[in-house]
Amino acid sequence: KALGRAGWRNVCTSPSRLQGCMSAWVIDQYGTNGVLKYTEEISIPTVSSPQEVMIKVHAASLNPLDVSMRGGYGAKLLKLRRDPLSVMDSDSEFPLILGRDVSGVVVDCGSEVTHFAPGDEVWAAVPPWKQGSLAEFVTLTEYEVSHKPKLLSHTEAASIPYVANTALSALVNAGGLCRDSASNKRVLITGGSGGVGTFTIQLLKAWGASVTVTCSQNAEGLVRGLGADEVVDYTAGDAAEQLEMMEKFDVILDSVGGETEQWVMGKLKPWSGAKYVTLVTPLLQNTDSMGLLDGALSAVFTLNSKVTQNMISSGIFYRWGFYAPDGPALDEVSKLVDEGKILPVVEAQFPFTQVPQAFQKLEEGHARGKTVVRVA
Ligand code: NDP
């Protein structure tokens, strides 16, 4: 395939064709929706290292992180990640392209890329420290990219990578679950109706776990349709009380955070290796408000004290879960999708001309799956 790929590159992509400018939605400053700007004058992000893959974007999707990043969330830490040694000519991250999910077609590959060739249909979750997918082209390293499920359109495929990489990283690395160990484990997902929740329900069911979710009453049909075994309507009364009637859990994935963290801990089986994993962490907020060193130290202090407190009081593992780029993990998800075990949950679609409307939709909250932007 590697030999063939070199040949295809010569045929399919002449460098001159891919040089120049592309259209994209960018921000030149942080703020509300008004800062989103359409331009046709962004340089095409060509392959600049041997491991890189350049993708023509067909569809992108939005995550709450895009709305937060538009407002400056995580700016300090992400800037450090983009340019750790401050060697870039420009001190500015602008113009910044948002959009974390991509489904598209490979148009160029670096000389050491072995798994992809021009013409391959791929999907990926773009790390927040890289230029995003609300653009005609995006360039990623091979490791971040995966072949898209054959059964899905680009619009459907774009709804999955970021939440999939997040859920897998949180469940496997922090929650200690995997395909072979999840069978019959009782898992609670708070916020089951959103992007992360709708994906995670299906993944855990494919792994044989028993899945309980909290969500609003009008999302019950959706989450049951995706496989949830037990549903707690948090709008119908105290969710903690409703969960009290149920058997306790082995793992909780908390995608709501805030006050939920206070009461949900008591729903885990004590002294049994049970794990609480939250996706809502103060790390980026702290580094934004206190600076990199103080913010990171404060976050570590908070984490350590919660880990210790929960371990001493009830033998529960307290963990933070994070998105992590992982193409091979998406390969596994791709198989589950093609086996019909995971379905895309696309709540809303917008054309590329209406990216601000897509952000507005996300900002209104009450997601029921994902909001996708058709780019090509
Ligand atoms: P979404 O906006 O897609 O979904 C949130 C869902 O939670 C909505 O369906 C909402 O519906 C529901 N919800 C709100 N309040 C409650 C509540 N009290 N109890 C139960 N459900 C509730 O977000 P995502 O699923 O994409 O992400 C979830 C969280 O995880 C976000 O805070 C996000 O920032 C974070 N995240 C963190 C990552 C990390 O690396 N740490 C990576 C990815 C996400 P309704 O209001 O109608 O009930």
- ipTM associated with this complex: 0.99
Instruction: Answer whether 159 contacts ligand 1 (Cβ < 6 A).
Output: no
CA atoms of 364 and 197, how far apart (whole Å): 18
CA 316/CA 273 separation, integer angstroms: 6
What confidence tens digit (pLDDT) does each residue in 143-180 have? Answer: 999 999 999 999 999 999 999 999 999 999 999 999 99
| Interatomic CA distance for residues 185 and 275, integer angstroms | 11
- Return d(Cα 109, Cα 355) in angstroms, integer: 28
- DSSP annotation of 248 reads P
What are the phi and psi torsion angles at 51 (to 5°)?
-95, 5
Q: What is the pLDDT of residue 87?
A: 67
The 10 Å CB-count burial string (b at 16+, else e) for 145-166 is bbbbbeebbbbbbbbbbbbbbb
State pLDDT tens for residues 299-344.
999 999 999 999 999 999 999 999 999 999 999 999 999 999 999 9
What confidence category does residue 1 fall into, taking pLDDT thresholds of 50, 70 and 90? very low
What percent of the chain has pLDDT above 90?
91
Cβ burial, residue 364 (10 Å; 0-12/13-18/19+): exposed
Rounded to whole angstroms, the Cα distance separating 73 from 32 reads 12
pLDDT exceeds cutoff 90 at 19: no
Residue 250 pLDDT exceeds 70: yes
- Full-model pTM: 0.95
Q: Is 255 in the pocket of ligand 1 (CB under 6 A)?
A: yes
Q: For residue 314, list its beta bridge partners.
A: none
d(CA 55, CA 175): 32
As a whole number of angstroms, the distance between CA 33 and CA 242 comes to 38
Tell me: pLDDT of 133 over 90. Answer: yes
Residue 107 Cα to ligand 1 midpoint, Å, equals 34
Q: What's the token pair of residue 41?
A: 């004058």
Q: If you average pLDDT over residues 358-369, what whole number do you get? A: 98
CA distances (Å), origin 65, targets 156, 229, 279: 20, 29, 12
pLDDT digit string, tens, across residues 181-215: 999 899 999 999 999 999 999 999 999 999 999 99
Phi, psi angle pair for 85, to nearest 5°: -100, 10
Look at residue 160 and give its three-state secondary structure: coil
Determine if the peptide bond prior to 95 is cis (ω within 30°). Answer: yes
Longest dimension (CA), the chain: 66
Closest C-alpha to ligand 1, atom 46: 366
Give the pLDDT of residue 43. 95
Alpha-carbon gap, residue 310 to 254, rounded angstroms: 16
Instruction: Kindly indicate the confidence band of residue 83, based on its pLDDT and cuts at 50, 70 and 90.
Output: confident
Question: Which of 66, 129, 233, 256 is the pocket-test mutation for ligand 1 (most atoms within 8 Å of CB)?
Answer: 256
Alpha helices in the chain (DSSP H): 2-12, 15-18, 64-70, 75-82, 154-157, 161-168, 195-206, 220-225, 239-244, 260-264, 283-290, 292-314, 327-338, 355-363
165 HSE (CA, 13 A, CB side):
26
pLDDT at 18 over 90: no
User: Helix, strand or coil for residue 140?
Assistant: strand
- Bridge partners (DSSP) listed for residue 230: 212
User: What is the pLDDT averaged over residues 122-138?
Assistant: 98
Q: Are 274 and 186 in contact (CB under 8 A)?
A: no
Residue 240 Cβ inside 6 Å of ligand 1? The answer reads no
β-strands 370-374, 346-351 pairing: parallel
Which of 196, 319, 326 has most ligand 1 atoms within 8 Å of its beta carbon, as the pocket-test mutant? 196
Q: Residue range 94-103: average pLDDT?
A: 98
Token reading at 104: 């598209």
**Mean pLDDT computed over every residue of the chain:** 94
Residue 59 Cα to ligand 1 midpoint, Å, equals 22
Nearest CA to 345 out of 149, 216, 156 is that of: 156
Please tell me what DSSP assigns to residue 148.
P
| Average pLDDT value for residue range 46-75 | 97
